[in-house]
Chain A
Amino acid sequence: MCGDCGCGDEKVIPVDVHERMLAGNDRDARHNREHFHAQGVIAINLMGSPGAGKTAALEATARALGRDFTLGVLAGDLATDNDAARIRAAGIVAESITTGTACHLDADMVHHGLHHLPWRTLDYLFVENVGNLVCPAVYDLGQDANVVALSVTEGEDKPLKYPTMFRKADLVLLTKVDLLPALEIDVALIEENLARVMLRPAMIKVSSKTGEGIDRWVKWLRGVGKPRGAACATGAGLEG
């Protein structure tokens, strides 16, 4: 264990690294973000469980915002093109990122996905992440905002069970609120739990089916990328 006396023993040296393990992804994400900002594209990372209503929310968004803005979607999907196909049917450009067995999107996958989309012409790019409340939270994609879709059928305690995901969220879309009359779900408790884990609690109740709340979601989207004062004026606090 010595390198000085000539006994031939190897030497062990400590080397400080102090680097984020995802430094490579962070670099790719920064690269995406620079591209988006240079072209004036607002990028939204939409996350949530499988079946939370992410695709339906994007279909409703296409109907509500598609007239005034150019929208595009990159849809992360393990094995199919189904989500992108549904969104294309709603009239906006969409491309799938097929991840195989990978449980999340990373910044490099988004970068490659952009090659198949006329992304420079977009006002808003929605990245529909793989349905999963754990892994996607860890990877920066270059987005301006993280939105988590949480459906009313998922129970009140999801924010407490997946705190990292909700901690990263700039907004929670509480989806499928049209189902509330049929459920025994305490929406106030969901809000309370979100307030315990989100850094800046904000939730909008929506139904992609009836269109309820979609106007407030659209208003929130219009505030993304503007100075914080403007974003606050869209009023997506918890009481509303």
Chain B
Amino acid sequence: MHEYSIVQAMFDQIERVAGRHGARAVRRVRVRIGEFAGVDPTLFQSAYEVYRIGTLCGDALLQIEHVPAGDDLILDQVELEVQ
């Protein structure tokens, strides 16, 4: 269940990016997960649902792009709500 620690690391990244842009919320999170990344997308999604509660990502949609035969594990893009 390392998906939880990976999602935790991703939230640290998102918070840094959001902080740099002075965002008050995140609307969307796009990630890329390769077939050989060693990460189960379903477990990743469940971990995300648990972690996002009470964070900037509370209402953010997670979009997972599956990469066949790749070992990508990438935070690609976030959509930030700024004023």
Tell me the A residues contacting B by CB distance below 8 Å: 3, 10-25, 102-104, 106, 134-135, 137-139, 163-165, 167
Which residue of A12, A13, A21, A164 is within 8 Å of B36 (Cβ)?
A: A164
A106–B2 alpha-carbon span in the complex (Å) = 10
Interface positions, chain B 23-39, Cβ under 8 Å from A, are 24, 27, 31, 36-39
A21–B44 alpha-carbon span in the complex (Å) = 12
Q: Which residues of A contact B74 (CB under 8 A)?
A: 18-21
Which residue of B1, B2, B76 is within 8 Å of A16 (Cβ)?
A: B76
A13–B81 alpha-carbon span in the complex (Å) = 7
Interface residues on B, range: 20 to 34
Give 26 pairs: A residue, B residue, CB < 8 Å, sorted on A: A10-B81, A12-B82, A13-B21, A13-B80, A13-B82, A15-B17, A15-B80, A16-B77, A17-B17, A17-B75, A17-B77, A18-B74, A18-B75, A19-B75, A20-B73, A21-B13, A21-B74, A22-B6, A22-B73, A102-B5, A103-B1, A104-B2, A135-B2, A138-B6, A164-B38, A164-B71
Q: Which residues of B contact A3 (CB under 8 A)?
A: 82-83
Q: Which residues of B contact A20 (CB under 8 A)?
A: 73-75
Q: Is B65 an interface residue (CB 8 A)?
A: no
Which residue of B17, B76, B78, B82 is within 8 Å of A11 (Cβ)?
A: B82
B36 to nearest A CB, angstroms? 5
Q: Which residues of B contact A23 (CB under 8 A)?
A: 9, 13
Q: Which residues of A contact B24 (CB under 8 A)?
A: 10
Which residue of A13, A19, A106, A167 is within 8 Å of B79 (Cβ)?
A: A13
Contact between chains at A134 and B78 (CB < 8 Å): no
Contact between chains at B76 and A14 (CB < 8 Å): no
Contact between chains at A14 and B13 (CB < 8 Å): no
Q: Which residues of B contact A16 (CB under 8 A)?
A: 76-77
Please give me the residue from chain A that is nearest to B81 by CB atom: A10
B70 to nearest A CB, angstroms? 12
A155–B52 alpha-carbon span in the complex (Å) = 40
A19–B83 alpha-carbon span in the complex (Å) = 25
Please give me the residue from chain B that is nearest to A25 by CB atom: B9
A90 to nearest B CB, angstroms? 30
Please give me the residue from chain B that is nearest to A11 by CB atom: B82
A147–B37 alpha-carbon span in the complex (Å) = 18
A15–B83 alpha-carbon span in the complex (Å) = 15
A59 to nearest B CB, angstroms? 28
Q: Which residues of A contact B12 (CB under 8 A)?
A: 24
Contact between chains at B75 and A12 (CB < 8 Å): no
